[in-house]
Chains A and B, each alone.
Chain A
Amino acid sequence: MRTAKLLILVVGIIGLALVATSFERRTVGAQQSKASGGSDRLVVQLCDGETKLEIADARAGEVLPPEKAREVARRMMAAYAEQQAKQVSKWTARDRLTWEREQKRVIEEGYKLFHDWRALGGTIGISCDMCHPDAAATHPETYPKFQTQLKRVATLRDMINWCIENPMKGKPLPPDDPRMIALEAYITSTRKGVPLEPGKH
């Protein structure tokens, strides 16, 4: 995570000419100007995606000479270090956005697969939604549980694969197949807030 942040920071410095114009939500140290809004000074955004840093001696839109760019980078690093020192949480708004976006993307992918027998390798025209509209009766909250016919305590993945192999006459997916993960994400998203009841039949 930390490496990723640093990388973003470096990328941010390279693109220093980039001007952020949206309003600030958090302030950092003394470098931050009180007079926001009307200012035409250069504003750069830190890698948390929230904190903005105003550069007093540079104007918005100005392409910085190398010397000055290095100085700005130094100040950004300092602001970053200061922020890190104060910060309680390791995670930033950008992290949160990323989590939400990725979760949504995978759920949507799962929704598509759930409604598309070809994409799941089915062979007889039957897709999951035909028997499980809105993923009804998939009961992810009840897994793992013993399935007599499988002769063991089975996971949700086992049941997904069972339904791919049997009603859909397809080939089971490897457990780390992105399609399996997407299906799981979609199925469990439909039972959000339902109490866990592993073992329920």
Chain B
Amino acid sequence: MWPLKWKKREQEYRRQREEFFEAVKRLNRRDFLKVAGLSAAVFTAKTVVPPHSFQVVDVVRAEPQEKPLFRFAYISDTHLYERELNERFVNAALRAVRDVNALDPPPDFVIFGGDLAQLGQPKELELGKQILSELKVPVKMMVGEHDWFLDMGEKWRELFGPENYSFDHKGVHFIVLMSVNEKDFWTERNMTPMERMLTVAQLDNPIQSRFEVGEEGREWLRRDLAKVSKDTPIIIFSHSPLYKYYRPWNFWTEDAEAIHEMLFPFKSVTVIHGHTHQLLTHRIQNIHFHGMLSTAWPWPYAPEGLPKLTVPMERPDPFDEADGTGWGTVDVHRDGYVDKHYNLWSRNPITVAKAYLESWGKEAIPPAPEFPPY
């Protein structure tokens, strides 16, 4: 193998790298030069070209703008099968729960981003409920298409309540919006409930309809928003991105424009969505959008339609089954806009700061991937 001399150098390099990342976490402007010096040491000690994330550029980004009002955490897209069939997804969900429970101080609550189950089976949903019940802080549930299309939400509602609801927390109005309704494609095809479920569960199945909030949902939203003053910050949780990214994979909400219209009059709106299993950033006027990671697997970026503000995450390493997956936290600021943290299990965490979106991508730019999607 490698000569001892190199091994020692490698060890020293690793130690300095650890120290560097520790320092980054505690960073303020005064410490900046010190860490920059340390990172220079990392550069000279290394024997290979460093990944992008070692660069000092990222360190500047880590500097907090202002103390956030509060923090919540998210876990999303666990896609649970029964444990007997698939332990991998169960273990990943448990890992996220453990990680969130280890947060100190604890988050105010956890939002679960949908797709708790893989095929909407009662046993899968029950297993999910059991796993999430280990969380030490309250959980807000959102439904995904994988939870819904076997029995059109019957079991999910029995376990978790209504699919549309809202609540207020520390001056922010939170809305959980069911956005994965589909127009009936199954009746004319005589599909069984399981056939319908499998059709929707297949991302690249063109037979299914496009996701939508739908008329009833929009009416519910209109009534809910009517109770809220225009200055109140709004944070919406939806499973599909509440905009149009890529139609063939339902990275899409068909009636997105109608919903944006309802949200434009408000001072501050943030949408946090599941379903896409990847780092996603978008802004339309006053509305900031952020994606959530899946605990189960990452999805490749779509071949077109990626929002301009998204700095994509690096392509996952196929030899590391946790790569590209994880969970995250959200720091909510006084004005309602957020810093979104992606806690990737096999990578350094990535933050998409409020300042990045507010400056339309000019400031606080997240680190660019060395190996982008293609």
Which of A130, A132, A133, A149 gathers most chain B CB within 10 Å?
A: A133
Asked if residues B203 and A129 are in contact (CB atoms below 8 Å), the reply is yes
Asked if residues B202 and A124 are in contact (CB atoms below 8 Å), the reply is no
Bound CA–CA A201/B372 (angstroms): 10
Name the residue of chain A whose CB is nearest to the CB of B277.
A131
Please encode chain A, from 120 to 144, with 1 for each CB lying within 8 Å of some chain B CB and 0 for all others.
0000111001111110110100000
Asked if residues B373 and A137 are in contact (CB atoms below 8 Å), the reply is yes
B249, CB-defined interface residue at 8 Å = yes
Asked if residues B315 and A125 are in contact (CB atoms below 8 Å), the reply is no
Q: Which of B80-88, B168-176, B349-357 contacts A (4 or more CB under 8 A)?
A: B80-88
Asked if residues A136 and B81 are in contact (CB atoms below 8 Å), the reply is no
Asked if residues B86 and A126 are in contact (CB atoms below 8 Å), the reply is yes
Asked if residues B204 and A129 are in contact (CB atoms below 8 Å), the reply is yes
Q: How many residues of A contact B (CB 8 A)?
A: 22
Asked if residues B371 and A124 are in contact (CB atoms below 8 Å), the reply is no
Asked if residues B85 and A133 are in contact (CB atoms below 8 Å), the reply is no
A162, CB-defined interface residue at 8 Å = yes
Bound CA–CA A166/B319 (angstroms): 8
Please encode chain A, from 133 to 169, with 1 for each CB lying within 8 Å of some chain B CB and 0 for all others.
1101101000000011100000000010011001100
Within 8 Å CB of B303, what residues of A? 134, 136
Please encode chain B, from 78 to 111, with 1 for each CB lying within 8 Å of some chain A CB and 0 for all others.
0001000111100000000000000000000000
Asked if residues B300 and A132 are in contact (CB atoms below 8 Å), the reply is yes
A41, CB-defined interface residue at 8 Å = no
A115, CB-defined interface residue at 8 Å = yes
Q: Which of B85, B204, B299, B321 contacts A166 (CB 8 A)?
A: B321
Please encode chain B, from 343 to 374, with 1 for each CB lying within 8 Å of some chain A CB and 0 for all others.
00000000000000000000000000001011
> Contacts A137-B300, A137-B373 hold; do A159 and B85 have CB atoms under 8 A apart?
no
Q: How many A-B residue pairs have CB under 8 A?
A: 51
Q: Which of A136, A148, A167 contacts B300 (CB 8 A)?
A: A136
Asked if residues A134 and B118 are in contact (CB atoms below 8 Å), the reply is no
Q: Which of A125, A129, A136, A162 contacts B202 (CB 8 A)?
A: A129
B337, CB-defined interface residue at 8 Å = no
Asked if residues B249 and A133 are in contact (CB atoms below 8 Å), the reply is yes
Please encode chain A, from 25 to 65, with 1 for each CB lying within 8 Å of some chain B CB and 0 for all others.
00000000000000000000000000000000000000000
Asked if residues B88 and A133 are in contact (CB atoms below 8 Å), the reply is no
CB distance from A19 to the nearest CB of B (A): 41
Q: Which of B81, B204, B373 contacts A134 (CB 8 A)?
A: B204
Q: How many residues of B contact A (CB 8 A)?
A: 24
B248, CB-defined interface residue at 8 Å = yes
Within 8 Å CB of B299, what residues of A? 131, 133
> Contacts A125-B85, A129-B204, A159-B318 hold; do A201 and B371 have CB atoms under 8 A apart?
yes
Bound CA–CA A166/B300 (angstroms): 18
CB distance from B251 to the nearest CB of A (A): 10
Interface residues of A in 95-114 (CB under 8 A from B): none
CB distance from A42 to the nearest CB of B (A): 47
Bound CA–CA A134/B319 (angstroms): 21
Within 8 Å CB of B85, what residues of A? 124-125
Q: Which of A115, A125, A131 contacts B118 (CB 8 A)?
A: A125
CB distance from A60 to the nearest CB of B (A): 44
Which of B118, B297, B300, B321 gathers most chain A CB within 10 Å?
A: B300
Q: Which of B81, B203, B315, B374 contacts A133 (CB 8 A)?
A: B203
Within 8 Å CB of A131, what residues of B? 297-300
Bound CA–CA A47/B78 (angstroms): 58
Within 8 Å CB of A166, what residues of B? 318-319, 321
Name the residue of chain B whose CB is nearest to the CB of A134.
B204
Bound CA–CA A162/B249 (angstroms): 25
Within 8 Å CB of A126, what residues of B? 86, 88
Within 8 Å CB of B204, what residues of A? 129, 133-134
Bound CA–CA A163/B297 (angstroms): 13
Within 8 Å CB of A136, what residues of B? 300, 302-303
Bound CA–CA A149/B318 (angstroms): 10
- Pairs across A and B, CB under 8 Å, 15 listed: A115-B202, A124-B85, A125-B118, A129-B202, A129-B204, A131-B297, A133-B204, A133-B299, A137-B300, A139-B374, A149-B319, A162-B319, A166-B318, A166-B319, A167-B321
A-B pairs with the 10 shortest C-beta distances?
A: A137-B300, A133-B204, A149-B319, A133-B203, A136-B300, A124-B86, A134-B204, A125-B81, A125-B85, A125-B86
Measured CB to CB, the residues of A under 8 A from B are: 115, 124-126, 129-134, 136-137, 139, 147-149, 159, 162-163, 166-167, 201
A sample of 16 more A-B contacts (CB under 8 A), given A124-B86, A126-B86, is A124-B85, A124-B87, A125-B118, A131-B297, A131-B298, A131-B299, A131-B300, A134-B204, A136-B302, A136-B303, A137-B300, A139-B374, A162-B319, A163-B318, A167-B297, A167-B321
